[in-house]
Amino acid sequence: MPTTSPEIRKAAVLLMSLPEELAVTLMSKLQPKEIEAVSIEIAKVGLLVAEEQDSVINEFADINPNKLPTPGGGLDLANSLVEGALGQNATPTLDNVRQSIEALPFGFLKKVDPQNLLTFVIDEHPQTIALILSHMAPKYGAQIIAGLPPNRQQQVVRRIAQMGQTNLEVIREVERGLESRMSSVMSQSFENAGGLQTVASILNVTDRATERTLMESLTQEDPALVEEIRRLMFVFEDISKLSDKDIQTLLKNVETAQWAMALKGVSEELKTKILGNMSSRAAQGLNEEMEFLGAVRVSEVEAIQQQIVDVVRRLESAGELSTQNQDANESFIQ
């Protein structure tokens, strides 16, 4: 890769040392090719050493460098400055910056999740891991180190600290080997599947006996997991699906003040369901209390709604109501 000219380096350091708005203004005065070259340099740089920053700033202006924050570079900053300087014409320059950065050693890893990389390097020699992490963003490297065994963490960190100049061909050889081994991961696309919400959705349509058996078994192994699943299985708006009898049971176990807060912003269907199962006087009182509350925080409303959902679950566990949908045509034995 071509060596960066001293002028481009100095321009990059200066722009990184300035507030972003001012840096954008200055960059907009440059020619597109100059913007591209400076942006690539900014994207390549991590944190600057204070000595280099001081030298560049003193060369451009007679100011106290200690008043400036320690700057950092990176692709995000480079993109932000290019977009600010070029506006709608930024796309070609952004593409060139990205391609240049991807040509850097281990640039392909920018698209790889740290946990995927960890599975490939965890058994590598500490020197190899250190070499790879030395070319990665600090946050990325931190995630890899966090996943290593404690003794391996120390070995890797020590080698990174002691690492000096490394032969470019050695770097490329390690890079080619890693990219070859990770080719299957690189070519795959991933999407989230499963999760708590999926379990809750399945159990919501499972027959009551099966659901109870599964939840009881899970409770013995992981009570906290069961609690999370239950919270997703029945949400506050689902109260509108309860029978009138169950609504009336619930009303007896929840204070009017709680309903006043919990019904803020809910659907008219749910509000009508609750008010319709109250006496006229009680419904009027609830409406007045809701108006008296005025604007309330969403977080406060959600907290009260969750308290009421917890009451529903407690009553269901006690057999006093059922959250299972009932067929309107179902026959009952008198």
Q: CA-CA distance, 166 to 96, in Å (whole number)?
A: 27
CB atoms within 10 A of CB 18: 16
pLDDT in tens, 65-120: 444 444 444 555 555 655 665 565 656 665 555 555 544 567 667 667 777 788 88
- Kindly report the pTM of this predicted structure: 0.37
| Pairwise CA distance, residues 322 & 330, whole Å | 15
Are the C-beta atoms of 37 and 85 separated by less than 8 Å? Answer: no
- The residue type at 111: K
122 with 98, same domain? no
One domain, residues 286 and 323: yes
Domain total in the chain: 4
Residue 2, pLDDT score: 47
Is residue 293, in this structure, part of any structural domain at all?
yes
pLDDT for position 319? 83
Nearest to 200 by CA among 238, 164, 165, 174: 238
CA–CA distances in Å: residue 13 to residues 10, 58, 101, 105 = 5, 12, 17, 22
Domain shared by 199 and 281, yes or no: no
Same-domain pairing of 164 and 200? no
Compute the distance between CA of residue 320 and CA of residue 94 in angstroms, rounded to an integer.
Answer: 63
Task: Compute the distance between CA of residue 172 and CA of residue 150 in angstroms, rounded to an integer.
Answer: 28
Same domain flag for 250 and 217: no
Query: Of 53, 78, 102, which residue constitutes the final position of a domain?
Result: 102
Residue 83, token pair as written in the block: 């977009």
Give the side-chain half-sphere CA count within 13 A for 249: 18
Residues whose CB falls within 8 Å of the CB of residue 80, separated by 6 or more in sequence, listed in order: 20, 24
Closest by CA position to 302, among listed 262, 244, 246, 260: 262
> Does 50 lie in the same domain as 95?
yes
Contact 199, 227 (CB under 8 A): no
Say if residue 15 is in the same domain as residue 79: yes
Cα separation, 248 vs 261, in Å, equals 18
Residue 46's Cβ-side half-sphere holds a number of Cα atoms within 13 Å equal to 10
Q: Please check whether residues 98 and 11 belong to one and the same domain.
A: yes
Helix (H, G, I), strand (E, B) or coil at 230: helix
Q: Which of 220, 252, 274 is nearest to 318 (CA)?
A: 252
260 and 215 fall within a common domain: no
CB proximity list for 225: less than 8 A, separation 6 or greater: 196, 218
Instruction: Give the pLDDT of the chain (334 residues) as one tens digit per residue.
Output: 445 577 777 777 777 777 777 777 777 777 777 777 777 777 766 555 666 766 766 666 544 444 444 444 455 555 565 566 556 565 666 555 555 554 456 766 766 777 778 888 888 888 888 888 887 777 778 888 888 888 888 888 888 888 777 777 787 788 788 777 777 655 554 455 567 777 777 776 666 677 778 888 888 888 888 888 877 777 788 898 889 999 999 999 999 899 999 998 888 899 999 999 999 999 999 999 888 887 888 888 888 988 898 888 788 878 888 776 544 334 333 3
1 occurs within a structural domain? no
**The pLDDT value given to residue 130:** 86
22 and 67: one domain?
yes
Query: End of a domain among 206, 233, 260?
Result: 233
Task: Specify the CATH number for the domain of residue 277.
Answer: 1.10.220.30
Q: How far apart are CA 254 and CA 175, in angstroms?
A: 63
Residue 226 lies in a domain: yes
pLDDT of res. 131: 85
* 33 shares a domain with 65: yes
Q: Answer yes or no: is 150 within a domain.
A: yes
- Residue found by looking up tokens 């080619």 in the block: 176
| Helix, strand, or coil (residue 47) | strand
Quick: pLDDT tens for 193-223: 567 777 777 776 666 677 778 888 888 888 8
Measured between alpha carbons, how far is 307 from 326 in angstroms, rounded to an integer? 24
Amino acid type, 134:
S
Which range marks the domain in which residue 90 is found? 6-102
Locus of tokens 């506006």: 87
Same domain, 111 and 182: yes
